[in-house]
Amino acid sequence: DSGVTQTPKHLITATGQRVTLRCSPRSGDLSVYWYQQSLDQGLQFLIQYYNGEERAKGNILERFSAQQFPDLHSELNLSSLELGDSALYFCASSVEAGYGYGYTFGSGTRLTVV
Amino acid sequence: GQNIDQPTEMTATEGAIVQINCTYQTSGFNGLFWYQQHAGEAPTFLSYNVLDGLEEKGRFSSFLSRSKGYSYLLLKELQMKDSASYLCAPINNKLIFGAGTRLAVHP
C-alpha cells in the first residue's frame, strides 16, 4: 500500500456519460497530480493541485475538470466520454510542489468506455 | 516547455548490465526522478538526483549531468523481473515523464 488511495479501481461506462475519479493523497502530502495512460502509451500529465489550488495544467481536455478539497482529497471529472478516453488514470501525491520529496502513485483507476 | 528523450525499447540478457539514457530540456530544474513501471501497474520510485554525479542504490544507479541535460539509469545483474518500462522525469514545478524505455530481459 503506497498510502495514495484511488477509487474506484475499475469503471466501465458508456460513451457520452460522466464519471468522477477520486484520489486521497498520502497523509501529510499537499500536492496532487493526475495522469492519463492509454494502452502502451506514456504517462500524460493532466493537472496538478497544491493545497487546494490549481498549480499546473498539462494536456487536459476541456471535457475534463478537477479540484482539490479542503481535506486535500482530489476528484477528476470526465464528461461526454468518448471511446478514446479509455485509459488508466493515476494520481500521485507529494509533500511539496516541484521538489523531490517523494512522489507516490496510487494504483490507478482503469476506465473503460464502451 | 519541457522536452524529454529516451530510447523506446531495449533488450538485455539476464545477469548483464544495461544503461538507459535520458536527455532533457526544461525551464527550471529541481532534480530528476527515475521510476519503474510494470505493465498495468503504478510507477514506483527508483532514484532521485539533484546534484551532478552518481547515486548508487543496490543494483540500480543513476547519474546526472545538469550542464549537459543528461541522465542515465544503470541496472546491474539483470533479473527477469526487471522487464518493465523505465521513466525519466525531470522536475520543475510539475512532474512530467518521458515516454519511457521498455526493457525486455531475456534468459
Question: pLDDT at position B28, please?
Answer: 81
Check CB contact of B91 with chain A, cutoff 8 Å: yes
Tell me the pLDDT of chain A (114 aa) as tens digits: 779 999 999 999 999 999 999 999 999 899 999 999 998 788 999 999 999 999 989 989 999 999 999 999 999 999 999 999 999 999 999 887 556 667 899 999 999 999
- Give B35-85 pLDDT, tens digit per residue: 999 998 999 999 999 999 999 989 999 999 999 999 999 999 999 999 999
B26: pLDDT confidence band, cut at 50, 70 and 90? confident
Whether residue B85 contacts residue B100, with contact meaning beta carbons closer than 8 Å, is answered with yes
Task: Find how far residue A85's CA is from the centre of its chain.
Answer: 13
Question: pLDDT at position A99, please?
Answer: 61
**C-alpha cell belonging to residue A7:** 477509487
Q: Determine which of A1, A5, A31, A43 to mutate to test the interface with B (most B C-beta atoms within 10 Å).
A: A43
Question: pLDDT at position A100, please?
Answer: 60
Q: Determine which of A9, A90, A103 to mutate to test the interface with B (most B C-beta atoms within 10 Å).
A: A103
- Give B7-18 pLDDT, tens digit per residue: 999 999 999 999
Locate the chain A residue with the closest alpha carbon to B84.
Answer: A40
Contacts of B87 (CB under 8 A, 6+ apart): A42, A43, B33, B34, B35, B36, B37, B43, B97, B98, B100, B101
Q: Which of A56, A102, A103 faces B93 most closely, judged by CB atoms?
A: A56
